[in-house]
Amino acid sequence: MLENKRGIIYVISDSLGETGELVAKAGKIQFNTSISDIKRFPFVLEKEQIDEILYEAKEDNSIVVYTLVVPEMKEYMRNKCDEYGIPAIDVIGPVIDALRLMTKKEPLYEAGLNRRLDADYFKKVEAIEFAVKYDDGKDSRGIKKADVILLGISRTSKTPLSMYLAHKNVKVANIPLVPEVDPPKELFEPIKGKIIGLTNDPDKLNHIRIERLKALGLDYTANYANMERILNELDYAEKLFHKLRCPVINVSTKAIEETASIVLSIIREGEQL
């Protein structure tokens, strides 16, 4: 008998169906094991798809939770559920109706608007992937492709700044500066991007590096945190910045957002030249 079968919730959506599934889960949790499953059917845009799903649902002890916005599809869903005797819940319809009364405007009735991806989204994703690929000097070829090339010794906020700028759709490559390692030759060749140096105060670098070593369980008296070593690295970086004639930002008293704002200003100034 159907009444002895554990129930199944069918979630049907013209988008991903996440909203309907969350509502179904919120209801299901109140009934312990009485409901066996939630089946989600995303991107249901044709009546034939509704037919196929409900043909299966009518054989189960089921209810339908749906998030459809196109009126014709909603009506078809209601009629079919009535025909098969399947209880159906329109999750988003009452919200749209209430908003229509409040705004005195007609909704767009377009499926999947909350998931529509615009060009800006793809630019952001591309910039984030770029920042990851060309982080910490992994591949110097990124210098030729980047909008901004950040140079600095260890613990000058190169990586967090790169990721923050990536979320502003800026492609960033960052290069660590080490006195014993020659800088990439691409820095001295014609490039489209803007080279920017990052520096920090010696005392702050000393403190940050000691804490970093402690966090890694390493000897905090190692050469990495030695003040003489830090001063040597800063001197090396300063000479390279001078050679490249690039702007330099001291990050010692600046939040990432503030440093990023300065970088964006430098980019805009360069575009106006």
| Residue 25 sits in the same domain as residue 132 | no
pLDDT at 117: 56
Q: What is the pLDDT of residues 79-138, one digit of tens each?
A: 999 999 999 999 999 999 999 999 999 998 888 776 655 667 788 889 999 999 999 999
Q: What is the pLDDT of residues 7-41, one digit of tens each?
A: 899 999 998 888 999 999 999 888 876 777 899 99
Q: What is the pTM of this model?
A: 0.60
Q: Tokens 């369980």 label which residue?
A: 217
pLDDT band at 3 (very low <50, low <70, confident <90, very high): very low
User: What residues form the annotated binding site?
Assistant: 152-159
| Residue 160 sits in the same domain as residue 98 | no
pLDDT band at 220 (very low <50, low <70, confident <90, very high): confident
User: What residues form the annotated binding site for ADP?
Assistant: 152-159
| Residue 130 sits in the same domain as residue 256 | yes
- Cα distances from 96 to residues 66, 69, 86, 270, in angstroms, run 14, 9, 23, 47
pLDDT at position 2 over 50:
no
pLDDT at position 187 over 50:
yes
pLDDT at 5: 62
| Residue 156 sits in the same domain as residue 53 | no
| Residue 141 sits in the same domain as residue 220 | yes
Q: What is the pLDDT of residues 137-180, one digit of tens each?
A: 999 999 999 999 999 999 999 999 999 999 999 999 999 999 99
In sequence order, what are the residues at sequence separation of 6 or more whose Cβ sits closer than 8 angstroms to the Cβ of residue 195?
148, 149, 151, 187, 244, 246
Coil, helix or strand at residue 151 = strand
| Residue 56 sits in the same domain as residue 129 | no
| Residue 126 sits in the same domain as residue 250 | yes
pLDDT at 1: 37
Its domain, for residue 80, covers 2-115
Q: Phi/psi of residue 148, each to 5°?
A: -140, 140
Across 200-229, average pLDDT: 92
Q: Any idea what the CATH number is for the domain that residue 73 is in? A: 3.40.50.2300
pLDDT at position 221 over 50:
yes
Largest separation between any pair of C-alpha atoms in the chain: 84
